[in-house]
Chains A and B, each alone.
Chain A
Amino acid sequence: MGRLRQKGNAGAAKAYVTRSIAIKKLQCSLADFRRLCIFPREPKSRKRANKGSSAPTSFYYAKDIAYLAHEPVLKKLREHKAFAKKLSRALGRGEWSSAKSLEENKPVYKLDHIIKERYPTFIDALRDIDDALCMIFLFASLPSNPRIPPSLVENCSRLAAEWQLYIMRSHSLRKAFLSIKGVYYQAEVMDQTITWLVPYQFTQNIPVDVDVRVMLTFLELYQTLLGFVFFKLYTDVGLVYPPPLDAKRDESAAGVGAYLLQEASQKSDKPAVTKVKVVEVEGRQVSGRDVYKTIKNIASSSSNADDMDVDAPTVENNFGETEEEFIVQPSKSDAEMASSLPTLQSLKALPQSINTSLFAPYTFWLSRETSRPIFEFLVRSFGGKIGWPASSGGGSPFDESDDSITHVIIDRPVIEQPSETDEQRERRLKRRYVQPQWVVDSINAGKILLEAPYAQGQTLPPHLSPFGEYEGAYDPAALANEEAAADEDESEIEGEDVEIEDADLENEVLQAVATAATEDSATLRAAELAAEAAGIDPSTFEKEVAKSRRKSKKSSSNGVDEAETDMNKMMMSNKQKKLYEKVKHSQDKRNLERSKLEEKKKNLHKQKRKLGQTS
Chain B
Amino acid sequence: MTIQARSSKKRKQHGQDESADTFNEAVNLEMLSDEEDREDVESDNGEVDEFPEIDAGSDESGEEDETYESEEDTGASEEGSSSSSHEQLHIFPEAKTIVSDITGQEKRVYPEIEPDYDSDSSTEDTPNRVGDIPMHWYDDLPHVGYDMDGKRVLKPARGDELDRFLKTVEDPNSWTSAFDKKAQADKPLTAEELDIIRRLYANENPDANYDPYEPLTEWFTGPGKEEIMPLTAAPEPKRRWIPSKWEHKKVMKIVRAIRQGRILPNRTKNTSQPLFYSIWGDSSSSNAPPLPAPKPSLPTNSESYNPPEEYLPTEEDKRQWEETDPEDREHDYLPQKYSALRLVPGYERFIKDRFNRQLDLYMAPRVQRVKLNIDPNSLIPKLPSPSSLKPFPTYKSLQVVHTHIARCISVSPDGAWVVSGDEGGVVRLWEVNVGREVRKWKFDGKIGSIEWCPRTDVSYFVVGTDDMLHFLIPPNLPASILQLTQSTLAPSTLPPPPETPSPVKWSTPSSNTWTDETAVLTIHLPPSSGLPTQITWHRRGDYLASVSIGGSQGAVWIHQVSRRHSQAPFKKVRGKVQLVLFHPMKPCFFVATQQYVRMYNLSEQKLLKTLQPGIKWISSMDVHPSGDHLIVGGYDRKLCWFDLELSDKPYKVLRYHTRAIRSLHFHPTYPLFASSSDDGAIQIFHSRVYNDLMTDPLIVPLKILRGHEITKGLGVLQVKWCSRHPWLVSGGADGAVNVWCS
Binding site for B on A (CB under 8 A): 34, 37-42, 58-59, 112, 115-122, 124-125, 127-128, 130-131, 134-135, 138, 177-182, 184, 195, 199-200, 202-207, 209-211, 214-215, 218, 227-228, 230-232, 235, 241-242, 369-371, 411-412, 435-437, 459-460, 462-465, 467-469, 473, 476, 563-565, 567-572, 576, 579-580, 583-584, 587, 597-598, 600-601, 604
Contact = CB atoms under 8 A, between A and B. Distances in A.
Contacts of B656: 570
Nearest to A575: B379
Contact of B350 (A199, A412, A567): A199
B81 interface: no
A138 B304 CA distance: 20
A572 B306 contact: no
B278 interface: yes
B83 interface: no
Contacts of B654: 570-571
A39 B366 contact: yes
Contacts of A34: 362
Nearest to B357: A131
A600 B314 CA distance: 10
Nearest to B317: A596
A463 B305 contact: yes
Given A58-B365, A178-B305, A200-B347, 11 more contacts: A39-B364, A39-B366, A180-B333, A181-B333, A210-B351, A218-B362, A227-B275, A437-B306, A463-B307, A476-B308, A583-B374
Nearest to A37: B362
A183 to B, nearest CB: 9
Interface stretch (B113-121, B236-244, B295-303, B722-730): B295-303
5 contacts: A214-B355, A231-B279, A459-B339, A463-B305, A571-B383
B346 interface: yes
B380 to A, nearest CB: 5
B333 A583 contact: no
Contact of B290 (A39, A214, A231, A369): A39
B310 A597 contact: yes
Interface string B333-375: 1011011111011111011111101110111111100001010
Given A435-B341, A600-B310, A568 B381 contact: yes
A179 B304 contact: yes
A429 B426 CA distance: 102
A604 B309 CA distance: 8
Contact of A460 (B339, B355, B357, B655): B339
A464 B308 contact: yes
A119 B300 CA distance: 30
Interface stretch (B142-150, B191-199, B281-289, B534-542): B281-289
B306 A59 contact: no
B156 interface: no
Contact of A128 (B293, B308, B380): B293
B289 A228 contact: no
A22 to B, nearest CB: 14
A27 to B, nearest CB: 21
A182 B350 contact: yes
Please indicate which of the listed interface residues A128, A370, A462, A604 has the most CB atoms of chain B within 10 Å of its own CB: A462
A148 to B, nearest CB: 11
B276 A241 contact: yes
A144 B210 CA distance: 64
B341 A195 contact: no
Nearest to B285: A120
B292 A232 contact: no
Contacts of B366: 39, 41-42
A130 B295 contact: yes
Nearest to A480: B308
B670 interface: no
A590 B340 CA distance: 31
Nearest to A473: B300
A437 B300 CA distance: 17
Interface of B: 275-280, 284-285, 287, 289-290, 292-293, 295-296, 298-301, 303-311, 333, 335-336, 338-342, 344-348, 350-355, 357-359, 361-367, 372, 374, 376-377, 379-383, 385-386, 654-656, 699-702, 704
A116 B354 contact: no
Contacts of B354: 134-135, 138, 215
Contacts of A462: 301, 304, 306-309
A307 B570 CA distance: 93
A464 B287 contact: no
Nearest to B352: A207
Contacts of A436: 341
A128 B386 CA distance: 55
A460 B290 contact: no
A117 B290 CA distance: 9
Contact of B298 (A117, A134, A465, A563): A465
A328 B376 CA distance: 60
A400 B192 CA distance: 102
A584 B376 contact: yes
A180 to B, nearest CB: 5
B287 A120 contact: yes
A200 B301 contact: no
Given A117-B285, A124-B289, A571-B699, A179 B351 contact: no
Contacts of A115: 279
A232 B357 CA distance: 27
B363 A40 contact: yes
A134 B295 CA distance: 12
A565 B380 contact: yes
B370 to A, nearest CB: 13
Contacts of B341: 178, 370-371, 411, 435-437
Nearest to A108: B269
A166 to B, nearest CB: 14
A567 B309 CA distance: 42
A199 B346 contact: yes
B293 A131 contact: yes
B380 A568 contact: yes
A179 B299 contact: yes
A465 B350 contact: no
Nearest to B309: A604
Nearest to A201: B346
B301 A469 contact: yes
Contacts of A215: 351, 354-355, 358
Given A138-B350, A210-B351, A227-B275, A465 B363 contact: no
B342 A412 contact: yes
Given A40-B364, A214-B355, A412-B342, A571 B701 contact: yes
A232 B377 contact: no
Nearest to A214: B358
B289 A119 contact: yes
A366 to B, nearest CB: 12
Contact of A567 (B284, B285, B704): B704
Nearest to B342: A411
Contact of B379 (A38, A242, A412, A572): A572
A24 to B, nearest CB: 19
Contact of B352 (A40, A122, A210): A210
A369 B376 contact: no
Contact of B701 (A58, A228, A459, A570): A570
Contact of A117 (B289, B293, B347): B289
Please indicate which of the listed interface residues A181, A435, A601 has the most CB atoms of chain B within 10 Å of its own CB: A181
B354 to A, nearest CB: 6
Nearest to A138: B354
B278 A463 contact: no
Please indicate which of the listed interface residues A180, A467, A572, A583 has the most CB atoms of chain B within 10 Å of its own CB: A180
Given A564-B385, A570-B701, A58 B363 contact: yes
B346 A200 contact: yes
B341 to A, nearest CB: 5
Given A39-B366, A215-B358, A571-B381, A604 B279 contact: no
A476 B298 CA distance: 18
Please indicate which of the listed interface residues B278, B284, B357, B361 has the most CB atoms of chain A within 10 Å of its own CB: B278
B578 to A, nearest CB: 25
